[in-house]
A and B are shown apart, each in its own frame.
Chain A
Amino acid sequence: DIQMTQTTSSLSASLGDRVTISCSASQGISNYLNWYQQKPDGTVKLLIYYTSSLHSGVPSRFSGSGSGTDYSLTISNLEPEDIATYYCQQYSKLPWTFGGGTKLEIK
């Protein structure tokens, strides 16, 4: 199975900050990488698919980039509703696998 690693398990930032969350794969995944947001109440939402495509309705302050084995999610101008845990997920090969998550908190 492909292992997905989010080395930062928690991150503290101030409102208005630009935040970058990283994710690496144990092998190349050809940009087949998604990002999800999970709110404290458990609600899960898709943010980004195929590395950099913004899902419908997701604010443009969210963006994704990367290639090969290394990917990142950037939130520009952090807002209070962005407090959540963020997960990356690869779909290059079954079984799909997720990163361990990065919990974003307000400083």
Chain B
Amino acid sequence: EVQLQQSGPELVKPGASVKISCKASGYSFTGYFMNWVKQSHGKSLEWIGRINPYNGDTFYNQKFKGKATLTVDKSSSTAHMELLSLTSEDSAVYYCGPDSSGYVAYWGQGTLVTVSA
């Protein structure tokens, strides 16, 4: 059974950074790109980018370049996303999910990031 367990909610101050994680199990972690998606409150979904866990290659949505940094730890089948220089616009739920030929068949439960002083 494919499972994606994301880290818990984060409350961070403006200007700070936060790193959230997504632990994968039930499939070959290095065989599929890992994608990250943002959902601001009451809004639609935005694709942030993806990483190839096999070699670490990344592709970012231009909108999120400089905002998000994607990494993986193959030894623990965990993907990470660091969000930099946080502002209120970064308050959102962030989802992870492996990409199989253009679609995310399985999604994590989401991680709520709240940016507030």
List residues of A whose CB falls within 8 A of some B CB.
32, 34, 36, 42-46, 49-50, 55, 87, 89, 91, 94-101
Q: B97's closest neighbor in chain A, by CB? A: A44
Q: A94-B59, A95-B61, A95-B62 are in contact. Are A46 and B105 (CB under 8 A)?
A: yes
**CB of B11 within 8 Å of the partner chain:** no
Q: Residues of A contacting B47 with CB < 8 Å?
A: 89, 95-98
How does the 8 Å CB contact mask read for B38-59 relative to A, with 1 for contact and 0 for none?
A: 0000001111010000000001
**CB of B95 within 8 Å of the partner chain:** yes
A44 interface neighbour in B62, B95, B102, Cβ under 8 Å = B95
Q: B106's closest neighbor in chain A, by CB? A: A46
Tell me if B44 and A87 are in contact (CB < 8 A).
yes
Q: A32-B102, A91-B102, A94-B59 are in contact. Are A45 and B44 (CB under 8 A)?
A: no
**CB of B7 within 8 Å of the partner chain:** no
B44 interface neighbour in A32, A34, A49, A99, Cβ under 8 Å = A99
How does the 8 Å CB contact mask read for B62-81 relative to A, with 1 for contact and 0 for none?
A: 11000000000000000000
Known: A96-B47, A99-B44. 6 other contacts (CB 8 A): A42-B110, A44-B95, A46-B104, A46-B105, A91-B103, A95-B63
Q: How far is the CA of A34 from the CA of B100 in the complex (A)?
A: 12
Tell me if A46 and B103 are in contact (CB < 8 A).
yes
Q: A48's closest neighbor in chain B, by CB? A: B103
Q: How far is the CA of A43 from the CA of B110 in the complex (A)?
A: 8
**CB of B18 within 8 Å of the partner chain:** no
Q: How far is the CA of A42 from the CA of B42 in the complex (A)?
A: 11
Tell me if B109 and A42 are in contact (CB < 8 A).
yes
